[in-house]
Each structure stands twice: as structure tokens, then as C-alpha cells.
Chains A and B, each alone.
Chain A
């Protein structure tokens, strides 16, 4: 009966309400200790860590290629983006640069997963405000992305597509047309959802002016990605620190000034349009050539070669057991993921295993604003505000 005790207020004016860790609005295992006065929130204390798996420690015990599979489980709504961000971080440590085709494929995968994640984000958000149908429309598109994933990397969900220095396999033949078809249907669904929601009086009333995050608040709490851009800060790592050749593609960074839930929704919808734009350019200019870094060491040989030549066989053995031979040093690489800036800080003392891997996960920083933001809102707004953040517990807790 301990949890029924009201420890917020002796006179009984205030009530402690425990939202989560298993609650439909928390999208995972976030727990919020709310103190409410009637329906109004007085204070909020987010409790995280229910999905902590010790990923940073695991990274110290397995070599770089082995850790790729763990990155799938971070932001599990955009596993490709995580794979690519991690691979890029290690390649930055090694000083490797992918050939053009490899980079283009990575951009393609990044943007596909951004679309998938934004669709889920907006769809689930709509469900949080009670519009179940929009959620299913969005989920259908997400399902199409997973079908493409399956063709690209062989897995629908936990892709593990990248290796240090390349990708597990090249794009299958004829996928370009399917991706372009998907782009069309994605744009159609975005339009549909906008018609269904963005001009809906109920939806607008629910969201405009709710959960307003000012520029200063957002910057102080280290928010990144769409949530930051909805608060009027034009910061997109793809523009400011281009990686993987993002400077070659034309796209706009959607920015909104209001910083409320409605602005975050709009920015996320616009993000899908921009991703589609990038994908179309990537496919139009897809270069030929290898997808792996062309080196004699550190990368896997072709399987056929390994079966024939002793040199290649030895190399395959060395790469699978010891991975790359990284130089000692420290490096930080951040990628613009669907949820925000996903950063990997690598401390290497040489060899194929990181001495320390620190991840900067966007969801963690985003959630840190809750104690500041939630007080003054109603209990009904919790769902809307949490939904508007589009966070993932797997990434927050790591």
C-alpha cells in the first residue's frame, strides 16, 4: 500500500500521480512522478533507466564490428541511422573515407529511416491526441519502409547494415524504382494526414500554445533535431557539419518559431517531404563503383576471394576476430538522426576495441526538459507533450 500514500502534501490538496513505467502515453518505459492539483500538474519528476542495458560498457568488451548490432537497439525506430552514425564515428577515428557509392547508399538509408521514424512519430502523436486512424495511415507507410529495409539489408527491423568501412551488401537490383514509388506514396500520405489533422479545429485547439519551449529553454536543455528546430533554432548537422556528402544534395531545413506542440508536428511532417526530396536526388545521381573502402587491411575481402587466396583468407580471419587496427586517440562524431543529434565519443588506445564509448543520445536530452515544461499543464496535455517530443526510451536509457 506504499504506493497509495500521498507524500506530496500533508493536507491532501495535492496528489502524487504515477504515470508509467507502463503507460500508453509514455511510449516505452518512461516513468513520470507527477504531483497534481486537481488536473493541473504542479511538478514532474521523470524517472528513466527502465530500459538500461549498459550499452556503453558492452562497447568496451566487443570490437567495433560486433557493436554494430547493439546500435540497432538504441533508437529502434530508425536502426539504419544508428548503424550509419556509429560506423561513421569509427571511420572518423580511422581516418577512412567511403567511396562515393557507399556514401550515397548511406544517405539513402539514413533518409529512409528518417521518413519511417517521422511517420511513426507523427502517427503515434496523432494517436495520443485520440486520432487513431491517422496513426494507422502513418504505420502503413512505415511498413513500406520496412519492406525496403528487408530488401536492402535482409532484416526488417534490426538492420545491422553497416560494417566499419562499408556495408554488408550492395543495393539489390531494381530497388530504385520501388523506392521512388514509396516516395510518391509517402508524400500522398503526408498530404492526407495534413488534411485530416493540421486543419482540424480540435487538433489545433489541443496543440497550439501547449508545451511551449522557448529558444533559450531548448538550447539550455541541449535539445536537438526537430524539437530544437520547432523552437526557432536553425541547426541541422547535415547543413552545419555535412557528412556523407550531404552538401551535394539540395534540401531545406524546416524551422518553426512557435515552439509549441503544433509546431513540432508541422516540422516533423515537413521533414518527411525534405527527406523524400533528398532520396529522389540520391537515386537520380547514384554513382557506380565499390561500396567498401578500398584498403588492404581492416575490411573484409570478397567471400569468393577468401575461398581462393591465402592472403584473403588470413585477412578475413583477422577482420572477423580482431576487426580494424585503430590508432590511439579520441574522436567525436555526431549525426543528424531523426530524433536529433546522435553523437558517439570514442576513446581508443589502439586495436579493434574501444577503450571507452560515450553516446550522446538526443532523447535523453529532450526528456530532461520535462520538469521545467510540464508544471502548469493539465494531465491531458502529458500525452500530447510527450508525443510531440517523439522520443525513444531505448536510446534514452541505452
Chain B
């Protein structure tokens, strides 16, 4: 036993091994969380859509009990046996309620199983690759769509730091000093997936979809990058972990109510920051290719757009890529504007003084709550607004957003220079 502990101590004391191990752990955690969120956001989307549209949405799919039998359970009717165990007669209202809740057939999960089952269905479906496609790029495209959002997630901090006896652990996979730039650079890559999918399908509707996606993503990338410059001027850093730390100390970007955030300058800065927020969120919508900006796949004129020729798991990759982009987009908005993991009102420092691990746990929960709230906002917008027309999207991007963001930078600079 001592040998194992000694070996562990030696290993963790070695800086390289310590770094490798905690990074790997965070990596696994991050991917698990993101992929779980992709599945969860599909469920959220469908339930919220149902809520908005006066219908239930997927609320039935549960874990069927025959799975227990499949895994070796001898019990044929678990509910009956349980009722028998507690001595409840089958005509009793409790038994009837249980039957009404379908407890005799499944373990209910409010439909949470639905996206998993859908995924399984897509996985088992026949894969058809049309004969006229360019095979290599056709197969490459879905990977290029799903990959970038997951890689971009690496720099998003999900909690503050912890000092262990072996060293300092910063709760994000890669604590880069170029956080936002990394995200823009990587998530911009996903346009290649859409373009390649549209082009390699060798079919007209996907081709138009691919072209639209390219034009749209490029034009929104510019204003997206420019729109956060006022923030970066205020933060004075590009490191996302430090950006969130700044917000924890000085008030969230859009809620400067504590710390140093109460000064005149911060209140005056609310104007450029508000403009930044609106433009950045719109650009995130455009980047994630969701209504009102889903030009690339708008079903009423392009049928399914760039993924019209895809089936089975390749289609699912596009589908998951879109939701992953949505989750990452929400995470970035939350990090930059809504305080990331910070709990706010000085609670972070107080908690950290009590117990760092507890602080990290609370911060992670806070981050998840904020993320869910923003995903809800994403979904809400999608099911409320009609879709833009393609040329209007271009016009909005190049003629309005670009000018406004550039003017916004000067406005922010003026405020920072003149108002102290």
C-alpha cells in the first residue's frame, strides 16, 4: 500500500506527469460534459419547442424494463412483485397510478432517453452513399463539422483554480493566453465541413447550401471578432481564465454590481458592452447555423441544404456538430458576458477561502446553470422567429454589423479615456 502511495506521490511530484494527468482528466471530463450537453440540448430543444407550441414534446421514452431481462434479471413483472412485496393489492389506487405512470413497462425519465434512442436509431440505419459523390471529401466533411466545436471547447474555463499539494490546477483544459482568438480560429474551421459537404455531394441543393454557409460564416466571423474588442479593452487580457476572474472580482460584464465595477466608467461602458453583447450573440446564432440564420439548410427552399445526401451516422455527425456549436457558442457568451463560472457578489472569494474544492464545485454548477439558461434562450429564439432571406443576412452582416462594431470600438475607447 505504501509503495503505491509513494509511487503516486513521486509521479504527481514530477511536474510533467502531474500536468499530463490532470490535463487528461479534465479533457475526459470536458468531452463527457460537452457530449452529454449535446444530447441534453436536443432534448431541451424538443421539450421547449413543445412547450412553446402547446404540445408535450418527447415525454414518454424511458428505460424499458425488458432491458433488465436482457441483462439477466429473472423477474418477469417487477412492478407486480414490488407491489406484492409491500402488500398493496392490484386494485388499489397506488397500483393504478403506477400503471398509469407506465412503471410496469419502463423506468420513466421524462423523455430524456429520447435523444439517445434517436442517436441509436441513426447509428443502426443503413448507410447510403450516392454513387455520384466525391467519396473522400464526402466522408471528411462530417468529421470537420463535429471536430472543431469540441476542440474549441478546450479553452473555456468551467471553474476557477485549485491549489493542491502537487501544484496549481486551473479548471480549463488548456489555459491559453489567446482564448477568444483560439475559439474563433477553430470554430471558423467548421465552415470547411459545410462547404465540402455541399460540394462533394455533387447535387444542386446541397451545393447551394454549401455556398450559402460559406458566405454567411465568413461575413459573420469578421463582426464577431470585432464585436468583443471593447470587452478585451476593458479586461486587458485574452486569457479566458483571467477574464472570468476579472468578472468575479469586478462584476460580470453585463452586471457590474460589486467590487470595482460600481464606478462611473463601468456604468458608461454598459452602452458599448450592450451593443457588443447583442452583436456577438447574433453572430453566435449565425455561426451555429440556427434559425433565424439557417440559410445553409433552410428546408423550405433547399430541402435539407448541405446534408441532403447524407444518411445514418454521417447525418448524425452534422446534427451533433450543430448542437455542439450551439453549446460551445453558449459557453463562450456565458464566459465573456455573463461571468462564466463566477457566482457573483463576492461569493467566489468567500467560498474559496472556506474550501477551494467546494468553491470549484459550486462554480461548475453555476457555469452549467448559466449554460443551460443560454441554451434555453437559443431554443426560444429558434421557435419564435421566422428565417432571414440569404441576401438579407449578408446585408445585415456587412452593411450594419461591421460598421456598428467598428464604431463601437471607438466609443469604448473614448469612454475609457475620458471617463475616469
Contacts and interface: CB of A to CB of B under 8 A. Distances in A.
B204 A130 contact: no
Contacts of B301: 19, 25, 379-380, 382-383
A127 B300 contact: yes
A133 B298 contact: no
A129 B387 contact: yes
Given A130-B292, A205-B392, A136 B53 contact: yes
A202 B387 contact: yes
Nearest to A6: B204
Interface string B295-335: 10011111100000000000000000000000000000000
A130 B55 contact: no
Most buried by B among A197, A200, A380, A381: A380
Interface stretch (B25-33, B218-226, B240-248, B378-386): B378-386
Contact of B54 (A126, A136, A206): A136
A361 to B, nearest CB: 24
B385 A200 contact: yes
A314 interface: no
Contact of A17 (B53, B204, B385, B389): B204
Contacts of B295: 380
Tell me what chain A mostly uses at the interface: helix, strand, loop, or mixed.
Answer: helix
Interface string B368-391: 000000000000000111111111
Interface string A122-133: 000011111111
Given A4-B132, A206-B389, A378-B389, A130 B384 contact: no
B227 interface: no
A23 B292 CA distance: 21
Nearest to A17: B204
Given A130-B385, A133-B53, A205-B392, A23 B303 contact: yes
A291 B386 CA distance: 46
Contacts of B53: 132-133, 136-137
B54 A130 contact: no
B185 interface: no
Given A39-B390, A202-B388, A205-B392, A130 B132 contact: no
Contacts of A379: 208, 301-302
A24 B386 contact: no
Q: How large is the interface on A (under 10, 10 to 19, 20 to 34, 35 or more residues)?
A: 35 or more
A186 B299 CA distance: 28
A284 interface: no
Nearest to A132: B383
Nearest to B212: A39
Most buried by B among A127, A137, A379: A379
A107 interface: no
B385 A380 contact: no
Contacts of A1: 132
Given A127-B300, A133-B52, A378-B389, A202 B383 contact: no
A18 B132 CA distance: 17
Interface string B201-233: 010110010000000000000000000000000
B208 A129 contact: no
Contacts of A171: none
Most buried by A among B202, B204, B205, B386: B386
Interface string B247-286: 0000000000000000000000000000000000000000
Most buried by A among B55, B132, B299: B299
Contacts of A39: 208, 390-391
A203 interface: yes
Nearest to A25: B300
B350 to A, nearest CB: 44
A145 interface: no
A378 B386 contact: no
Contact of B385 (A4, A25, A131, A387): A131
B408 interface: no
Contacts of A136: 53-55
A60 B396 CA distance: 58
A130 B301 CA distance: 10
Contact of B300 (A4, A18, A24, A378): A24
Interface string A186-221: 000000000011001011011000000000000000
Interface in A351-398: 378-383, 387
A140 interface: yes
A133 B385 CA distance: 9
18 contacts: A15-B204, A17-B208, A18-B204, A25-B301, A39-B391, A130-B294, A130-B386, A130-B387, A132-B383, A133-B49, A136-B55, A137-B53, A202-B387, A205-B388, A205-B392, A378-B389, A379-B302, A383-B300
Interface of B: 49, 52-55, 132, 202, 204-205, 208, 291-292, 294-295, 298-303, 383-392
Interface of A: 1, 4, 15, 17-19, 23-25, 39, 126-133, 136-137, 140, 196-197, 200, 202-203, 205-206, 378-383, 387
Given A129-B386, A130-B386, A137-B53, 7 more contacts: A130-B300, A130-B387, A133-B383, A205-B389, A380-B389, A380-B391, A381-B389
